[in-house]
Amino acid sequence: MSELQEGPDASRTAVELFAGAGGLAMAVHGAGFRPLLFNEFAKRACQSLQANGAKPRGDREWIPEPGEPWPLVEGDVQDLDMRYLHRRVDVLAGGPPCQPFSLGGVAKGDEDRRNMFPQMFRAMREIQPKAVICENVKGLLRPSFRPYLEYILREMEMPFELRDPAAGWKEHDAVLRAVREVPASDPSKRYNLVVTQVNAADYGVPQIRHRIIIVAFRADLAVDLDQFKRDVRPQYSEAALVRSMLDGSYWERHPTVPKHVRELVMARLPKDMPLMDDGLKPWRTFRDAIAGIDENEGKPLPKIAWDRLDRQEYRAGGFTDHIGWPDARIYKGHTPNELDRPAKTVKAGVHGVPGGESVMLTDDLESSKSKIYRHRYMTVRETARVMTFPDDWKLEGPRGEKMRQLGNAVPVKLGAVFADAVAKALDQAEGRS
């Protein structure tokens, strides 16, 4: 999967803005949508996209044929004209920069110049896609941002209702509220929305990652929104993970876990969690990711030796980016990852520290008499696995840039649930299923 190869049906098409390292791109393409255009601003992320099959588009506007490299435009989305793709796109996807709304940022919200939601609205007008997939941080749900989130949703519902350049968003919101009460004369210029608050762990990602995913369907298609909501319901649960530890099936998958580790994990299991069978699968853990899941099934990552935290790549087992890194430390407010839980949220970087709190506890004790476990930095490859990137997806740049790309990405498996559901909804609405 080192490149986005075409499947048997290449008739569905997609455009992605804010493409980053390609996590959502893989998900959308895997659902059967052929990429017509990708846009990304960050230089290193563009290099990663090219390493996996992208081709710089240049100034000439062109639409790739099935099997051709997908065109990449590097630069500011505000300079990108997409009108040549009008009515040629099934899905517009992207995660506008989230720093304005992130709990870890300065939280300026709509006043922040990095807010790129207006560019998504412009893309909807220029392309008029059948569906839109938009991922962002849960910070949009904070009470202080809630009114602006509701405005964003109304803009996505009615992107062709242009905002007066002299008007503030609250003034435009009042206009949208009034227009919304009147039936649309042209339903193809309105969209029906589904907003889903997600924890990636509930969708098979070995990571706690809270986000919101906004999906919009063009109103003239009359998509069954109730069925779509059923198709994107959680598939995994913490309770199922606890049950698997109690009945031993989790430990059967990991027979080499030291007895002292297993005993500690079992002693810390929640005592008040309802454990009735919910019909869901167990959360995946960091240990599951290292052992190999999905495309990486049966490909365990080799252990990093303590005398090789030296920034040198030894390609043990043929894995790239699985490199030991020195000087990891645990400090207040940055608790480490534990192997038998989903990993903590992978971040793009905190106060100049690449990867934020990307420190992990291992199975190794400081000494035979110690009860303190040794810790180290997660490798880039381990981080990519908790983001559910396949091992053959290439990341370009130094370690810090690779970690930044991963922290900004959409976990592939999370994106796949929503992209697959969008594909199914469009097929049913258009009688293709």
Are 425 and 224 in contact, with CB atoms under 8 Å apart? yes
Token digits of residue 165: 């350049």
Q: In terms of pLDDT, which residue wins out, 264 or 110?
A: 264
SS3 content of the chain, % helix, strand, coil (to 5): 35, 15, 45
Residues belonging to the active site: 98
Examine the pLDDT at 34 and tell me if it is beyond 70. yes
Neighbours of 62 (CB within 10 A): 12
Token digits of residue 272: 């008040």
Q: In terms of pLDDT, which residue wins out, 294 or 142?
A: 294
Examine the pLDDT at 4 and tell me if it is beyond 60. no
Give the whole-angstrom CA distance, residue 13 versus residue 5.
14
Give the whole-angstrom CA distance, residue 208 versus residue 198.
10
Token digits of residue 28: 């959308």
Examine the pLDDT at 108 and tell me if it is beyond 50. no
Task: Specify the pLDDT at position 311.
Answer: 93
Three-state SS at 282:
strand
In this prediction, residue 180 has a pLDDT band, given cuts at 50, 70 and 90, of very high
Q: Among 231, 210, 153, which residue's Cα sits nearest to residue 416? A: 231
Structural domains of the chain sorted by starting position, each given as residue range(s) with its CATH number in brackets: 12-234+407-429 (3.40.50.150), 237-400 (no CATH)
In this prediction, residue 18 has a pLDDT band, given cuts at 50, 70 and 90, of very high
Of 102-116, 213-227, 327-341, 401-415, the poorest mean pLDDT is in 102-116
Task: Specify the pLDDT at position 238.
Answer: 96
In this prediction, residue 306 has a pLDDT band, given cuts at 50, 70 and 90, of very high
CA torsion 64-70-74-76 (nearest 10°) is 70
| Alpha helix stretches (DSSP H) within 66-180 | 117-127, 146-157, 169-180
Are 4 and 25 in contact, with CB atoms under 8 Å apart? yes
Helices 23-30 and 412-429, axial angle in degrees (round to 10): 40
Task: Specify the pLDDT at position 97.
Answer: 74
Give the whole-angstrom CA distance, residue 7 versus residue 16.
18
Task: Specify the pLDDT at position 107.
Answer: 39
User: Burial, 34: exposed, middle or buried (Cβ in 10 Å; 0-12, 13-18, 19+)?
Assistant: buried
Are 193 and 157 in contact, with CB atoms under 8 Å apart? yes
Give residue-wise pLDDT tens across range 38-89.
999 999 999 999 999 999 999 999 999 998 898 999 999 999 999 999 999 9
Give the whole-angstrom CA distance, residue 91 versus residue 256.
45
Task: Specify the pLDDT at position 348.
Answer: 81
Task: Specify the pLDDT at position 3.
Answer: 54
Task: Specify the pLDDT at position 330.
Answer: 87
Task: Specify the pLDDT at position 349.
Answer: 66
CA torsion 295-300-301-303 (nearest 10°) is 170
Give the whole-angstrom CA distance, residue 187 versus residue 185.
6
Q: What is the pTM of this model?
A: 0.93
Q: Among 298, 286, 390, which residue's Cα sits nearest to residue 342? A: 286
Lookup result for tokens 């920034």? 311
Mean pLDDT within 375-388: 96
Diameter of the chain measured on Cα atoms:
76
Mean pLDDT within 280-302: 96
Are 100 and 94 in contact, with CB atoms under 8 Å apart? no
Q: In terms of pLDDT, which residue wins out, 192 or 165?
A: 192
